[in-house]
Amino acid sequence: MSHSRDDTLAILRGESIARLPVFSGLPSLTDAGLRAVGVRYNDAHTDAAKMAMAAASTFEVCGFESAVVPFDLCVEAEALGGHVDFQTDLDIFMPPVVDGPLSEFPRTIPGDLARAGRIPLVADALRRLRAGVGREIAIGAWMPGPFTLAWQLFGADAWLSALQEPERVARWLELLAEFLARVGAFYRDAGADFLTVHEMGGSPQVLGPEKFRMFVKPNLARVVAQLASPKVLSICGDTNAIVYDLAECGADALHVDQRNDIARTRRLLPRAILLGNLDPVGTLSRGSADAVTEAVRRAAQAGVNAIWPGCDLVPAIPAANLHALMTTMRSSPT
């Protein structure tokens, strides 16, 4: 794996290599990795050193080809005033949640990101990762898309109700897009090799294709246009009806989950860099090692450029499944 970082970044630049890397732009923690480095999951969100150690641990225990921070969806919402419950009283993998949604749009958006909530802590973790494993594997940072960030800020019910006032919503999303573009630049300056914009809350499976095009796509494209390459657009759910829309958002690569017909997407987008699309729960966590091997081979045959879990890794992934994930691609065709 001495060329792992080079291979991963080559894929994101659209270059051909002789194998399929296995990496992600989303949280990729495992029980085994956290035990190996002695970090408790619930403590890794508020301590840069522990965050970096945790992020690198999956590479260190099994050769996973990226280290990505942060591990929760609340960083940017917290910086804008949302109250976060880190659930530190629990000894299970329960991610932080925004438990105090806002009742109105933030009156001010932070200008100095070095003082904006945990954003500087994530940047510190990126610098530590860069110094620690940055020569071996790609270092990634991720953030929500504008629609998902608004969802986090206001709560699902209030935000979906707000869509009845499209002009006001459009103004808010534009402001959030500009904020996220600055956050992305801040993370890149701190050492991230690539960025992932994860618009999980704007999935057409939730909104439908037309509302996706109306509310999500314009400001998703606005964020992506301002980010330095390489940049990945990630979206959950059944995205088959919006494949062309995703491509038009302008990211260097597209990440989709197991509900996307990746072979069809490859036919429709023959030149796209496609990343995916293994089911992180049904296959990687709950399936057999043979099922993981078969899923990797199917994704390779369907035309992905690299193997990604469909979303975050489930930390309790069995060791045999993790081994199958990391070794099957060595004999998979590109």
CATH number at residue 261: 3.20.20.210
How would residue 329 be classed by pLDDT, with cut points 50, 70 and 90?
confident
pLDDT > 70? residue 168: yes
CB 315 within 8 A of CB 27: no
pLDDT for the residue 257: 96
pLDDT tens digit string along 148-157? 999 999 999 9
Domain that holds residue 82: 4-331
Beta strands in the chain (DSSP E): 66-69, 83-85, 97-100, 138-144, 194-198, 231-235, 253-256, 274-278, 306-309
For the chain, how many residues are written?
334
Render 287-315 in DSSP notation, one character per residue: S-HHHHHHHHHHHHHHT-SEEEESSSPPT
* C-alpha distance from residue 42 to each of 54, 64, 95, 137, 170 (Å): 11, 22, 8, 25, 35
* C-alpha distance from residue 317 to each of 189, 237, 279, 311 (Å): 33, 21, 12, 13
* Domain count across the chain: 1
Helices 48-62/319-328 angle, 10° precision: 70
pLDDT tens digit string along 181-202? 999 999 999 999 999 999 999 9
264 token code pair: 């069809």
pLDDT for the residue 2: 52
pLDDT for the residue 225: 98
pLDDT for the residue 331: 57
Nearest-CA neighbor of 4 among 188, 194, 133, 196? 133
pLDDT for the residue 90: 81
